[in-house]
Structure 1
Amino acid sequence: MKAFYLALLQHFEDHKQDFIDAQLKPIKTIDFYAGQDQDPENFNNLFFPALFFSWNINYDNNPEKPTAVLEFRLVYENLRDTSNLSLNKEKALAFFDTACLVDALLKELNIKEMGALHLVSEGLEVEPTVTDVYLLNYEALYYANEKTRIRELQEGNINDVILNSHLKAKTNKVNRFQDLL
């Protein structure tokens, strides 16, 4: 998880401009989750928006291919009214845009110790928190433990491809169902 965490920090640092270009606040704090949204007074240097994550690695289902389960908590301070009475709903609902961008950036992470992140679930935190929290949950294959094999990537080229079948030409027919009648 150390390699993933360092890659996460660097990736979000490299993509601060993406948030600015989308007229969103860049993520200011990234850390392991330790209840920061429940009791912020006990944490120094807590700035919003923040991204906290926790993980669990499951070896039970398949010891040769363990699964990492990662929960990300996007913590933001929404000082605007999101109700139907709000006069500024666009700004109040900008956290959805932030969550979408965070999801896209997380899916871009690529390290040899872990497979691609696949979004499993997302939603708003329903437990009382000091600020608003958007949950993003992912799964990925995990290769970093000594008990598992490390994913190996090899570059290569494919030359001399021989097709043993006929290719169908792309047509611009207006009636695509014509051949079925």
Structure 2
Amino acid sequence: MGENPLEAICITIGRISMAVQTNLSKLIKIPQKPTNVQISVSPPTPTASMLAADSYPPHSTDTNTKQAGPVTREELGRATWTFIHTLGAQYQEKPTRQQKKDVKELMAILSRIYPCKECADHFKEVLSSNPVQAGSQTEFSQWLCRVHNVVNRSLGKPTFPCEQVDARWGKLDCEHRMCDLQGTMTPFDKY
């Protein structure tokens, strides 16, 4: 690494930022000039992991149209669960002490600053009854599934069979391992 001790941190933050931006842009289609007219959004091509999610509610009631405007509470919830389940799928099988600490802190932070106060307060309750389990990728992804099911039950939504969590939320499919923080050279490695 270079002489600057912050270089590794900057590279990691750059990689995380790129992965989050890439994946969120796939989930949320935002028009260049926001209007109050309906815009057409092409539905995603079904993948094996999407097909395994039959018991989960669809990502919207109509995947072909999206009303331009602020994100709804439901859209925010789906995007948040997508993010944290993807994080769980990418989590290390043998995480460092710092990675375990970071993921536990992330869950605590979400329960404090989540944009929906009612949701944040409920998540605090869920966390107090279900402390974060992050000793391995399997443990963390299973914990996320169980916690997501707790939330779904409280909302009267269907639960997901946790034995299928890997089929639904498997590793990201990224070109040149750009999403893999332990992967090969990326454009960020040059900076």
TM-score (norm 1): 0.31
Which one scores higher on RCO, CA 8 angstroms, separation ≥ 6? Answer: 2
Structure with the higher helix share, 1 or 2:
2
TM-score, normalised to structure 2, is 0.30
| Bigger fraction of residues in strand | 1
